Amino acid sequence: MTETGRPPGADDRRPPTLPAVFRPRRVWIFLHVVGAALTTAMVVVALALPTGGPGAWGVGDRAALVCFGLFCWGVAALLARPKVVVDEAGLTVVNVVRRRRLEWAEVVRVNLRQGDPWVLLDLSDGTTLAAMGIQPAGGRDQAVRGARALRDLVDAHAPEDPRG
């Protein structure tokens, strides 16, 4: 054991400085690269299509291909949106289409069990909220570190128990 009472080599689990953002970086990068590549491919195809003679492609056809590429990039950007933003007042969970602001007292527990697709937050009203911004798909070690850091922040900001 070390002076901190932890085994040698154990991480010093101090909460991160605030504000902090948790996001699956690999997933974010991958989705934006795929979106950009698909859009670029659609532009190249639109420019390479024949312009004259039988089977000619019109301006509308070309524009539709480019718009399809941009639409796919938009979907990829939407899928890359999840993150968890923490500050002194609480946390904001941004999932694919919804955003929810939580006060620290509303979060009872932070869970990331084996096989979970992302962190699950147990809330004081008895419900569970998915925090898709911390997910093993972006790297298991990064997800575990993020879940631990968020758990430490929740513990550090937990209200005092009036029962002592």
Neighbours of 93 (CB within 10 A): 24
pLDDT in the model for residue 56: 81
pLDDT in the model for residue 82: 95
Q: What are phi and psi of 27, to 5 degrees?
A: -65, -45
Q: What are phi and psi of 39, to 5 degrees?
A: -65, -45
pLDDT in the model for residue 52: 78
Whether 99 and 85 have beta carbons less than 8 Å apart is answered as no
Tokens (6 digits) for 113: 């069990």
> Which residue bears the tokens 């009036």?
162
Residues in the chain predicted with pLDDT less than 50, given as ranges, are: 1-10
**Rounded Cα distance, 94 and 86, in Å:** 11
pLDDT in the model for residue 10: 45
Domain ranges of the chain: 27-79, 83-156
pLDDT in the model for residue 38: 97
